[in-house]
Amino acid sequence: MRVLLIDDDDALAALLTQQLVAQNYVVDRVADGETGWAYGSTFEYDLIILDWMLPQLNGIHLCQRLRNQGYGVPILLLTAKDEQTDKVRGLEAGADDYVVKPFHIDELLARIRVLLRRALTEAAPVLTWGDLCLDPVSCEVTYHGQRVDLTAKEYALLELFLRHSQQVFGASTLLDRIWSSEAFPSEATVRSHIRGLRRKLKAAGAPGDLVETVHGLGYRLKTRGSLGTAREIAQPLSRAIARPVI
């Protein structure tokens, strides 16, 4: 999942980015509304986290501009304004949710999961491919019931393959979809992460070529054998663990 974070508070943005990356999100962070508009109208995101008070173009006006242009991705508004009229104004501008500062990080993460769940289906799907399971709510991956611990990038690669199980992804496409706009990785980085993903899946009992190479084209999930096809099943939202207030 790719998130655009628009906030000019460097300390808060750094903390949020750290927490989101730990939850396997790919994060682009910008510090003003006009740059947020440029990013939001150029790249594909699954969620926008938007501060109200921003230089150049405030969060309310940016939210309105995005909605007026038909931008349907969920928008979560962050603000220190806690009056009821402010909340109404934010929601009427097109925000899907409204979180008042200071907040518990786990509450924010839970709200993010809820917004993404609504955007995907009525119930958050668990993606499966044969004995492989990936739960996008808990960010847990298992193979034949055994947990597979992946890095954020390995997880993002696997989730992309599962969501588009018949598609072949070239290295350049994977770089665009998985790595943030501030990173400058090479195709060798993609190959390294694919090797790491395969190694961890194999250690859990999966075939070594579960993620197969289509020579000259890229990578996809293994299509032959008895692995079956990707499907989705509903799972309840995982319970959050309390964390300090930001």
Question: What pLDDT is attached to residue 122?
Answer: 44
102 with 140, same domain: the answer is no
Instruction: Identify whether the C-beta of residue 104 lies closer than 8 Å to the C-beta of residue 243.
Output: yes
- Contacts for 12-17: CB closer than 8 Å, 24+ residues apart: 12/246, 15/105, 15/246, 16/49, 16/105, 16/108
Single residue among 96, 120, 144 that ends a domain in this structure: 120
**Tens digit of pLDDT for each residue in 216-231?**
899 999 874 544 444 4
Domain assignment of residue 239, yes or no = no
Question: What pLDDT is attached to residue 141?
Answer: 94
Strand partners, 143: 132, 146
Q: How many domains does the chain have?
A: 2
Is residue 71 classed exposed, middle or buried when 0-12, 13-18 and 19+ CB atoms within 10 A define those classes?
middle
Domain assignment of residue 155, yes or no = yes
Domain assignment of residue 211, yes or no = yes
**Tens digit of pLDDT for each residue in 2-50?**
899 999 999 999 999 999 988 888 899 999 999 999 999 888 888 999 9
Tokens of 195: 């090797």
7 with 50, same domain: the answer is yes
7 with 108, same domain: the answer is yes
25 with 105, same domain: the answer is yes
Q: Give every CB contact of residue 29 below 8 A, 6+ residues apart in sequence.
A: 4, 5, 6, 7, 13, 17, 182
Domain span holding position 208: 125-233
Domain assignment of residue 245, yes or no = no
Look up the CATH number of the domain holding residue 182.
1.10.10.10
Q: Give every CB contact of residue 65 below 8 A, 6+ residues apart in sequence.
A: 37, 57
226 with 134, same domain: the answer is yes
Single-letter amino acid, residue 80: A
8 with 84, same domain: the answer is yes
Question: What pLDDT is attached to residue 230?
Answer: 45
99 with 171, same domain: the answer is no
13 with 59, same domain: the answer is yes
Torsion of CA 131, 136, 140, 144, to 10 degrees: -10
Q: Give every CB contact of residue 198 below 8 A, 6+ residues apart in sequence.
A: 208, 209, 210, 211
**Tens digit of pLDDT for each residue in 175-200?**
888 887 666 788 899 999 999 999 99
Strand 47-51 relative to strand 97-100: parallel, antiparallel, unpaired? unpaired
**Tens digit of pLDDT for each residue in 109-161?**
889 888 887 766 544 578 889 899 998 777 889 999 999 999 888 998 999 99
Give the pTM: 0.59
15 with 107, same domain: the answer is yes
Instruction: Identify whether the C-beta of residue 30 lies closer than 8 Å to the C-beta of residue 6.
Output: yes
Single-letter amino acid, residue 209: D
